[in-house]
Amino acid sequence: MKLNENVCFSPEVADALERGLPVIALESTIISHGMPYPQNVETARECERIARSCGAVPATCAVIGGRLCAGLTDEQLEYLGRTGPAVTKASRRDIAVIASRGGDGALTVAGTMIIAAMAGIRVFATGGIGGVHRGAEKTMDISADLEELGRTDVTVVCSGAKSILDIGLTLEYLETKGVPVIGYGTDEMPAFYTRKSGFKTDYRMDTPEEIARAVSLKKKLGIAGGTLVVNPVPEEYSMDKERIDAVIEAAVQKAERLGVKGKNITPFLLADIKDVTGGDSLETNIALVFNNVRLASAIACALE
C-alpha cells in the first residue's frame, strides 16, 4: 500500500499499512476533552495496549505541530492529556486551518474519520458519536459526525449516541444519510452510559466476522459512506437508565442557563455528569471505550 504523503505516520502504523496488517484508528478528543488528567492519558495508553493484544495496530489520530498524524508517540499522548481542553477540538472545518498555522488539534469523530480515510485505515473505535442535540428543531445543532458518516468510508465502532442527545432524531438523520446502524449482539441502540434507549438498530449481527463481511462487500460494491457499529457497554458497567436520564436532564438545563452551546456543550455536560455521579459515569466511559477497541480490533482482523 502506498502511504498518503499528507499524513505523518508513526513507524509502527506505516509498517502495518505497508504490510497489509490490521490497523484501527483512535480519536484524540477523548484524551484532551473527554476525561480529566491523568485518567485520559492512562486510558489512551490502555486503548493502544488492548488493540495490540487483540492483533491490531492502534493509530491515535491528531494534528500536532501542523502535521496530520496517524499514530502518536507516548510524549504526544502525554502532551494532549496535560494540555486538555486548551487544545483545539478539531472537526472537518478546522483541520486545514489548524495545519496551515502549524497548530495542534484534538480530533473529533468526524475529524478522525477524515484522517483515517486519508491514511487507508478502515476501522475506528471511539466512545460515543455526536448526533442531533435536543431542541435541534430550533438551534440546528447537529454534530458533524453524522455528515461524516454519510460521506466517508470508515466503520465506526461506538456505544451509541451519547445520551445527552436526541437519539431518535439521530437515528432518523443517519437513515437519511444512508448509514447502516449495526447492533453488535443487540437489536437496540445503546445510549452510551446504558444499554437501553428504547430505539432499534437497523440490523443485529452477533460476530465480528459477520460485520466484517458486510463492510467488505459494501466497499467492493462501491457504496459510499460509513458504517456505524454500536456496541453496548458491558452489563456490569451499565448505569441505571432512570438515574442517568435524570442527571443528564439536569445537566442539560444547567447548560441552557449558563448559555453553553456548540462544541463546548458536550465536554461541559460530560464533566457535570461525572461530578454529579461521583465518578461513576467516568468509570462507565472508560469501560465502554476499552470494549469498543476490542470489537474494532476483531473487525479489522476479519476484513477482506
Give strand pairing partners of 165.
133
Burial 159-168 (b: 16+ CB within 10 A, else e): bbbbbbbbbe
24 in Cβ contact with 293 (< 8 Å): yes
- Helix or strand (DSSP H, E) at 158: strand 155-158
In this structure, the strands spanning 57-64 and 105-107 are antiparallel
Residue labelled with grid coordinates 447502516: 180
**Radius of gyration, CA atoms only, the chain:** 18
| Catalytic sites, residue numbers | 27, 162
Long-range contacts of the stretch 139-145 (C-beta < 8 A, 24+)? 139/261, 141/261, 141/262, 141/265, 142/173, 143/109, 143/110, 144/91, 144/92, 144/93, 144/108, 144/110, 145/108, 145/109, 145/110
Preceding omega of 38 cis (within 30 degrees of 0): yes
Between CA 243 and CA 286 the distance in angstroms is 19
Question: In sequence order, which ranges of the chain are alpha helices (DSSP H)?
Answer: 11-19, 29-32, 39-53, 74-83, 95-100, 109-119, 136-139, 144-151, 167-176, 208-221, 241-258, 265-276, 280-302
Between CA 80 and CA 86 the distance in angstroms is 9
- Taking Cα atoms as reference points, which of 101, 98, 62 lies closest to residue 81? 62
Between CA 54 and CA 51 the distance in angstroms is 5
